[in-house]
Structure 1
Amino acid sequence: MRIRFAFLATLCLSGAVLPAALAPAWADDPVAPPVAATKQARLDQLFTDLKRERNEKAAERIAQRIWSEWSQSGSASIDLMMQWSQKAMEDQKYDVALDFLDQVVTLQPTYAEGWNRRATLHFMMKNYGKSMSDIDHTLHLEPRHFGALSGLAQIMAETGHKQSALEAWQKVLAIYPMMRSAQDQVGTLSEELAGEGI
């Protein structure tokens, strides 16, 4: 249950919106480089900062900024479908959410967060095979997606593959060292595996 809560908490972060005070200064710069280039540069810098940060709360703020970057599809229609899918998921209308997310990944297959959201939905529906397929798509597009890796770790744990779960959590920590839930899971799984003689 603790694992599932951590996963859903991570999902909730994906919808986080940054207050204007946290928006980068260059966001209003009329001479800024093209959006795709700046988005990638912003993500690269945020991931560098996330890896170096040793304060848990500061690391959480950086992670929220990463989720904010990931959530920007560049399309008002896709963003709207993502909002509708989130609302449907919250209301446990999983079939409705799935319809929206199927459209998202069809219309914008290079949008990693669309795949990740659908992976989360499949996880909630206990469609682990489909969730893992969507996680694979997400990680192909964004190998540093700690949310997708967390989902993979949880699927592995729920299906009894503790060693694979441990390895996935370790990958999360390589990207986001201060993620408390990942630290806890690495400790717990390491102890369990040691007790089983692995």
Structure 2
Amino acid sequence: MGAVIINLNRIVAAGVAIVTFSLPVLAEETRLDVLFAQLSQAEAPEARKIAAEIELALSRSGSPAMDLLLRRGQDALEAGDLGAAIEHLSAAIDHAPDFAEAWHLRSVAFFKQERYGLALYDIEQALALEPRHFNVIYGLGVLLDELGQPDLAEDAFSRALAIHPHHEDVTKARESVTRDLGGAEL
């Protein structure tokens, strides 16, 4: 009987640990759900603030080491050191393959190197992890336009605007593609 109680205690303790450690993940998902819902309904000034909160949340992996690799990759990308950016972001992806923002930033680095197949693959991975990532969808539109697919680019830009209606870069890109297609601007 004593062995049964000890095993039962261990099972209960394991269950409590699983629930306890799962709560922060569930809370972050809920927070992102709320922010994305607010973003689609917000007026322009408020939308910029909400978008910044979403971007900040997406840049946090839950691991200080992975967040550092992301920052180093982002810094290298901004400095134009695409090789270093890809190295840092690849390391982050290797250790945290569910970190959508690392996939996103590496897709940007690949795009800047004109390695479009690799950029498209990383976009696909990022969107599989976070399908509402409006900056990734915007990047997809830019890539499709670069590849001579303005109709698909326009679709991507429209999808990004459905999530973030006040994204200025996406709005300009969509207007440009729409003009190129010979359609009327909305």
Task: Indicate whether the TM-score tops 0.5.
Answer: yes
Equivalent residue, structure 2, for 1:123? 111
Q: Does 1:39 align with 2:21?
A: no
Cα shift at 1:131: 0.5
Equivalent residue, structure 1, for 2:14? none
Distance in 2 (alpha carbons) for counterparts of 1:95 and 1:184: 30
Q: Does 1:140 align with 2:98?
A: no
Equivalent residue, structure 1, for 2:167? 179
Paired amino acid for 2:49: R
Distance in 2 (alpha carbons) for counterparts of 1:79 and 1:185: 30
Distance in 2 (alpha carbons) for counterparts of 1:140 and 1:123: 19
**Among 130, 134, 142, which residue is 1:154 paired with?**
142
What is the root-mean-square deviation in Å for CA atoms of aligned residues?
1.6
Cα shift at 1:194: 2.4
TM-score, normalising length: structure 2: 0.83
Runs of 4+ with deviation above 6 angstroms: none
Greater radius of gyration (CA)? 2
Distance in 2 (alpha carbons) for counterparts of 1:57 and 1:159: 33
Q: Does 1:108 align with 2:96?
A: yes
**Among 35, 40, 43, which residue is 1:51 paired with?**
40
Provide structure 2 residue ranges, at least 5 long, that are not aligned to the other structure.
Answer: 1-19
Cα shift at 1:192: 2.1
Paired amino acid for 2:59: S
Q: Does 1:163 align with 2:151?
A: yes
1:79-123 CA distance string (max 9 Å, x none): 111111122222222111111111111100011111111111111
Equivalenced residue count is: 163
Paired amino acid for 2:33: D
Q: Aligned pair in 2 of structure 1 residues 186, 97: CA closer, same or farther (>3 Å)?
A: closer
Provide structure 1 residue ranges, at least 5 long, that are not aligned to the other structure.
Answer: 1-30
**78-87 or 39-48: which moved more?**
78-87
Compare the two structures and name the one with the higher helix fraction.
2
Distance in 2 (alpha carbons) for counterparts of 1:99 and 1:187: 35
TM-score, normalising length: structure 1: 0.78
